[in-house]
Chains A and B, each alone.
Chain A
Amino acid sequence: AQSVTQLDSHVSVSEGTPVLLRCNYSSSYSPSLFWYVQHPNKGLQLLLKYTSAATLVKGINGFEAEFKKSETSFHLTKPSAHMSDAAEYFCVVSPTNFGNEKLTFGTGTRLTIIP
């Protein structure tokens, strides 16, 4: 069984300040982990993925995440928030790399950027 817990349903930061979105996971396997972003009326877009290579993963738009097995965490960070980062963010776990297993999504974190 696998599950994902996003620790904050809503995060607000000022433009230009760091962003931290927290995610803890549970999986019986060595999982693949992802962060997806959802802008209003847009499809889910992949920000980054971890698949058992480097534990620090760099994604698009300046986002990165660190896989910490001992803490079962995969937190998403960005050094400096931009207004265009306002969106819903989902932490996602998959038990394999093969693509034939379902993705399990967290409940999402809504990121608000204060001008």
Chain B
Amino acid sequence: ETGVTQSPTHLIKTRGQQVTLRCSSQSGHNTVSWYQQALGQGPQFIFQYYREEENGRGNFPPRFSGLQFPNYSSELNVNALELDDSALYLCASQLIGAPGANVLTFGAGSRLTVL
């Protein structure tokens, strides 16, 4: 059983650029969530994808968007990067519809620095 893997692990962008972060879910999981963790803070919910549809969204602007693919992998896209987007982006997967559905398995994250 593989865990959640994310890529890239680190990246640096400049203001105004666009970034795509990728996530492979744990085997057997059907749902992916993305969280943003700013330095010294707890993770903040960005959105969740279930059956390739957005299934809930936190307080993030539309320039944060996502995709879930038929194999349950996922992408997080951020357009028009701002300095405050610098953070660790965490992907988490889970199996909705099964016992313990609210237990998430997290990846190690992608650390984004915006200059």
Residues in A lying within 8 Å of B, measured CB to CB: 4, 32, 34, 36, 41-46, 49, 51, 90, 94, 96-108
Contacts and interface: CB of A to CB of B under 8 A. Distances in A.
Nearest to B31: A99
Given A34-B103, A99-B96, A105-B42, 14 more contacts: A41-B108, A42-B108, A43-B4, A44-B43, A51-B102, A99-B101, A100-B31, A100-B48, A100-B55, A100-B56, A101-B102, A103-B104, A105-B44, A106-B42
B34 to A, nearest CB: 11
Nearest to B94: A99
Interface string B86-111: 00001010111000011111111100
A102 to B, nearest CB: 4
Given A41-B108, A105-B42, A106-B42, A98 B101 contact: yes
A38 to B, nearest CB: 9
Interface in B22-66: 31, 33, 35, 40-45, 48, 50, 55-56, 58
A36 B101 CA distance: 16
A105 B89 CA distance: 14
Nearest to B41: A107
A94 B61 CA distance: 23
B41 A46 contact: no
6 contacts: A43-B109, A44-B104, A49-B103, A99-B101, A100-B50, A101-B56
Contact of A43 (B45, B55, B108): B108
A41 B48 CA distance: 23
